[in-house]
Amino acid sequence: MKVLSRTSRHQTTVEDLRELCRKTTRLEREKYDFSLHPKGFPRGVLIELTGLGKTEVLVQFLAENPKLRVAWIEESLTIYPYAMAQRGVSLARLLFIEAHQEVFWATFQVLRSHLFDCVVLSSKRNFDEKNLRRMQLEAEKGNIGVFLLTESIHKAWPIALQLKVNREICSQGTKLDVIRERT
């Protein structure tokens, strides 16, 4: 089968197109460095953290990345900012938002602003597929990492990286188990 290009009279075969597809290289996403996850956290995607100790893991991540501007969004603030400061996180680069019932609206406004390098969304609500997809599109547009702190793993496809925090008793500390990783 031959395909005729409109701009030129050069004929391209299906095999030529397949060869072009094979030559195309996949672009690697930028990553945030993190000691507990040696591959790093990809930017521009949704990352779900669940399990006991998920907030402590995220605070450690923020301490290891001191230049990130972060928006922390919750329905009712449960995070204690001074505890974050004690762990080496500069509060000058964090914006805490208590959104009540408007947690998704607040998240979309922050993502659309492109003022933050990452957004943390901690909610006891279930995230529906539509809102997750909208968040994923906005995160990709702004190259912003969106961290979802949840009680249990969602089976939603827009979430690129799902990690379960596992605290080992009488061992070296916290471990992250990869539930799903989509690049």
| pLDDT confidence bin for 9, thresholds 50/70/90 | low
With CA atoms as reference, report the closest residue to 121 among 79, 180, 63: 79
Residues 44-69: pLDDT tens digits? 999 999 999 999 999 999 999 999 99
Contact predicate 2/15, CB 8 Å = no
Contacts of residue 106, defined as CB under 8 A and 6 or more positions apart, other chains included, come to: 73, 97, 99
Residues 11-43: pLDDT tens digits? 778 888 777 777 665 556 789 999 999 999 999
Say which residue, 127 or 6, is predicted with more confidence: 127
Cα separation, 72 vs 106, in Å, equals 10
- Strands (E) in 68-144, as ranges, are 70-74, 94-98, 118-122
Cα separation, 8 vs 121, in Å, equals 51
Residues 125-150: pLDDT tens digits? 778 899 999 999 999 999 999 999 99
- Statement: residue 172 has pLDDT above 70: no
The phi, psi pair for 83, rounded to 5°, reads -65, -35
pLDDT mean across residues, the chain = 87
Say which residue, 92 or 27, is predicted with more confidence: 92
Domains (range + CATH), the chain: 27-181 (3.40.50.300)
Cα separation, 42 vs 33, in Å, equals 9
